[in-house]
Amino acid sequence: MTPVESPALAAAPGTHGRSTIVGVLIFVAAAAACLIGYLALTARGPWFGGPPALHWAAADFKVTRGTGRLGPGGLLVTPDASGTVVVSLNASFRSRDYPVIAWDAANVPEGVEVGLLWNTDYKSSSMFSRPLAIEAGQVAPADLADVRDWIGTVGGLALVTRGALAEPLLLRGVTARPMTPGEILSDRLAEWFAFEPWNGASINTVTGGANYQDLPLPVILATIVLVAALIYAALARWVPGAVGAFRPAVVAAVFLAAWFVLDARWQWNLVRQVGATYAQYAGKSWRERHLAAEDGPLFAFIEKARAKLPPPVEPAARVFMVADANYFRDRGAYHLYPYNVYFDPWRNTMPPSSALHSGDYLVAYRRAGLQYDPTQERLRWEGAEPIAAELLLVDAGAALFRIR
Amino acid sequence: MSETAMSYVALVLGWAIPWLLGFAILLALDWPRPDPGASLERGGHAALRLGYGYFVGVLLLTLWMRILSVFGARFDWLTIGAPLLIVASACLGIAARRRAVSFVATRDAVTALWRPQLPRWQRIAWLLLLAWLGLRFALLAAEVAWQPLYPWDAWVQWATKARVWYELGHIVPFVRADAWLAGAAGAYFDASPNYPATVPLQQVWSSVALGHWDDSAMNWPWFLTLIALSLAIYGALRDAGVPSLGALIGTWLVSSLPLVDVHVALAGYADLMMGAVYTLAALALYRWTLHRDRCDAGIALLLALACPSIKIPGIVWALTLVPGVVVALLPNRGLKLVALGFGVAALALLALGKAETVILGYRLKLAFEPSWRSLAESYFFFANWHLLWYGAIALTLLGTRRLTKPPLAPLTMIVAAGVVFLFVVFAFTNASAWVGDYTTVNRATLHLAPLLVCLGVLLWNEMTTVTHTSVPAHATALAGTPVAADA
């Protein structure tokens, strides 16, 4: 008994050439069919021509409720006392030409009420509204084509949010979209090939381009593979003269081609990421790399603190690390090893004062509620008796104490 | 030569030693032994030995470091590197006496890997795919070289231990917060003091080899893990009868998985090694089911036993290999027994869930709360797995019959047990919340994904390979098991 190589991977040269051509043609045909089908379902504007998209930048916005500050990344808005934000802008466009309004907003937590307001010349005395969905911390585009009050010439738009925001709302702009097929295709390509740099969540999940995507690339590619397989099976069944008998190798090739498209996107993202990493860290020692990292100021402070601490030989000194933010607390502790470090990895707590002994050290980094009396040389924090401590080092928002 | 260059030479030498050790041991054991009925495939066997050799070497390295600590010896080149090098040399000597090491054999193996005998179009595809993989590995190597330790858990629960053990020169215990605050003598604390030592010990050895602490350079083992995993998968697929180009495609499918690549580029977590060791344990077990070679069983056992030393859930991953053994030993009744086992496990789950028992840090509960939307996004919508789950579903539907028959049945049962384990964790424990926030679902899946790809490639090969007899090649090995063994 002799196994013969898989036909997917080893075939007679003549049949293989034909299979490849058939596979490529069917893949292209299926891709075209799927994309045209998608555009037919989603496009609202004309297939040819149509008005251009209208865009307003953050500088065009007026903060009606809340407090706004224009920065390089956009408009940062904090709510007023009632937890409300209203940001508006003047506009003038025909509503029927622009069925979708897309706000480019970030830092929008789930649970916050978000709405779109607008007025038109049709009922100039009225203000219309529509709730907006939140997707991955961003405001999802609003499709207004079937909304009764989206009529006439739009004279103004506004975004309103109600609820607690963990950090200021970031508004980068708003776009009125004509939803022509060309624009939709361009949007999808932009989403799929958006650079996804490393972030805190990268180790857990890779989004694959923009954070919010109307049509994820794996979904459309899987659909293309399925459609291609069906087309090929049908042709092999009813028009064998055109494509030959059914060969699983062709379906496998289509599947691998789709996988390769995804992998090419991923490789391109990696190339851009390596460029960013190179610019930030290449040619530096490990210390210099840490100084250039996101927590560079923290690392610099811990380096100063280490210079004040005794050498970390066994038994290493015990060092307590406290900070309001989880990130600084945990990261500060990491930089302090191999000292015998204690920190609360999950909650912003202070250690019980009974656990602090003479000869221990305490590093505080951006920790509110910690008070030091230099005359008495006493350190105190909420809910604890003052303890004797010596201030060894102080920096902007950071300090090192030795417990007495 | 600059100091930096010297450090890197030392690091390369440092990692060459355990790799050589593992390779030499396998060579001395004459593993993998070729199938008597098959032609000798030097490229695949060399890849298999190289790939497995790395993991065997690393596991022995970390075992040796533990032994040194028990006896109070300080970590340095002399105490760690020298003994391993001596053992590696001895094993090479044994292999040389058997004439297993020769210039001709090495040349043939390299040629078979670099330029296998293939038709012209396949050779072009082969070279293009190698170039694509080479670019991928180069990009990941650049990230490992320049990126300081980045992901969260890496610096709250893994590298914390590495830093302390490297600077102190031996292993010291890490304890829970209450014990530390109570003044446990000589004990340290971090976010997960109970986590096993294998991964941080690799970082310690990198640092010892380098001669100083560098939390970028200490992460080269993650890159080597991917290289070794790729070699082992190529070798295992070739060994199982997959053609050269198909085996390379299988290797590409694994190493192109974005989450696998992320765990190399943002090194520091234990999940990649967990997935690699588990995959190789299952593939060694699969090889054992085909050849009944004791060496295969021994390697599978070593790697399975190593799983809990990498991550705590490794003990469950190791147990998921048991259904594969049952089906291999009892080809007639095995599937029914495994089904019965799953049923008993489900009943046990019900009983334990009612009492909200905590197992390995997961709180079991009877409430069925899978986060389907997040799960679907993670598997099908996001870029984590390319088209893996689409392909897995399609192949399962098309190849159900072959999956439950020899030779694939044991591997199928292993993967099925792994999927059930993931499902139970995601649906019936407090980990369901971590599916919703995407923090654990993909990392847990990473343990199973490489094996799933391998099973998919093997299934495809079975489905499309034309045989000249009605009995599949490997089935004879399984069917050769006496039926009396069932009794």
Measured from the Cβ of residue A36, the count of other Cβ atoms closer than 10 Å reads: 11
Tracing tokens 């598997």 back to the chain, one arrives at B379
Mean pLDDT of B407-429: 92
Question: Quick check: A219 and B381 CB within 8 A?
Answer: yes
Of A88-97, A128-137, A279-288, B94-103, give the lowest mean pLDDT range: B94-103
- All residues of chain A having their beta carbon less than 8 Å from the beta carbon of residue B214 are 286
Confidence of residue A14 (pLDDT cuts 50, 70, 90): low
Of A193-197, A220-224, B104-108, give the lowest mean pLDDT range: B104-108
- Residue B470 reports pLDDT greater than 60: no
Higher per-residue pLDDT: B366 or B127 = B127
- Residue A11 reports pLDDT greater than 80: no
Confidence of residue B347 (pLDDT cuts 50, 70, 90): confident
- Peptide linkage before B331 cis (omega within 30 of 0): no
- Residue A384 reports pLDDT greater than 60: yes
Residues 245-264 of A with CB under 8 A from B: 248-249, 252, 255-256, 258-259, 262-263
What's the pLDDT at A1? 39
Confidence of residue A404 (pLDDT cuts 50, 70, 90): very high
pLDDT tens digit sequence for B33-48:
876 656 556 788 899 9
- Residue B433 reports pLDDT greater than 90: no
- All residues of chain B having their beta carbon less than 8 Å from the beta carbon of residue A137 are none
CB contact, 8 Å: B36 with chain A? no
- Residue A313 reports pLDDT greater than 50: yes
- Residue A402 reports pLDDT greater than 80: yes
Residues 351-380 of B with CB under 8 A from A: 378, 380
Enumerate residues 6+ apart whose C-beta is below 8 A from A145.
Answer: A44, A99, A100, A179
Structure tokens at A166: 């963990």
Given B132, B155, B378, which is nearest A331 (Cβ)?
Answer: B155
Question: Quick check: A203 and B155 CB within 8 A?
Answer: no
What's the pLDDT at B351? 81
Q: How far is A398 from chain B (nearest CA, A)?
A: 21
- Residue A350 reports pLDDT greater than 90: yes
- All residues of chain A having their beta carbon less than 8 Å from the beta carbon of residue B156 are 330, 333-334, 345
Please check whether residue A37 is in contact with residue A25, taking contact to mean a CB–CB distance below 8 angstroms. no
Higher per-residue pLDDT: B242 or B372 = B242
What's the pLDDT at A277? 98
Please check whether residue B444 is in contact with residue B422, taking contact to mean a CB–CB distance below 8 angstroms. yes
Nearest CA in chain A to B3: A285
Mean pLDDT of B294-308: 97
Mean pLDDT of B437-443: 88
Question: Quick check: A289 and B383 CB within 8 A?
Answer: no
Give start and end residues of each alpha helix (H) in B147-241. 152-153, 159-168, 177-181, 198-210, 220-239
Give start and end residues of each alpha helix (H) in B71-188. 82-97, 103-114, 120-146, 152-153, 159-168, 177-181
Given B119, B440, B465, which is nearest A3 (Cβ)?
Answer: B465
Q: How far is A282 from chain B (nearest CA, A)?
A: 6
Cα atoms in the Cβ-side hemisphere of radius 13 Å centred on B145? 17
What's the pLDDT at A16? 62
What's the pLDDT at A167? 87
pLDDT tens digit sequence for B54-91:
999 999 999 999 999 999 999 999 999 999 999 999 99
Given B151, B180, B265, which is nearest A342 (Cβ)?
Answer: B180
- Residue B368 reports pLDDT greater than 90: no
What's the pLDDT at B431? 74
Given B387, B465, B466, which is nearest A218 (Cβ)?
Answer: B387
Please check whether residue A9 is in contact with residue B249, taking contact to mean a CB–CB distance below 8 angstroms. yes
Question: Quick check: A203 and B269 CB within 8 A?
Answer: yes
- Residue B136 reports pLDDT greater than 90: yes
Confidence of residue B487 (pLDDT cuts 50, 70, 90): very low
What's the pLDDT at B1? 64
What's the pLDDT at A39? 95
What's the pLDDT at A30? 96
Confidence of residue B306 (pLDDT cuts 50, 70, 90): very high
- All residues of chain B having their beta carbon less than 8 Å from the beta carbon of residue A209 are 383
CB contact, 8 Å: A274 with chain B? yes
Measured from the Cβ of residue A248, the count of other Cβ atoms closer than 10 Å reads: 15
Question: Quick check: B262 and A203 CB within 8 A?
Answer: yes
Average pLDDT across chain B, whole number: 90
Mean pLDDT of B482-486: 36
- Residue A41 reports pLDDT greater than 70: yes
Please check whether residue A258 is in contact with residue B387, taking contact to mean a CB–CB distance below 8 angstroms. yes
- Residue B353 reports pLDDT greater than 70: yes
Mean pLDDT of A327-356: 96
pLDDT tens digit sequence for B208-224:
999 999 999 999 999 99
Residues 389-428 of B with CB under 8 A from A: 390-391
Question: Quick check: A10 and B245 CB within 8 A?
Answer: yes
Mean pLDDT of B45-54: 95
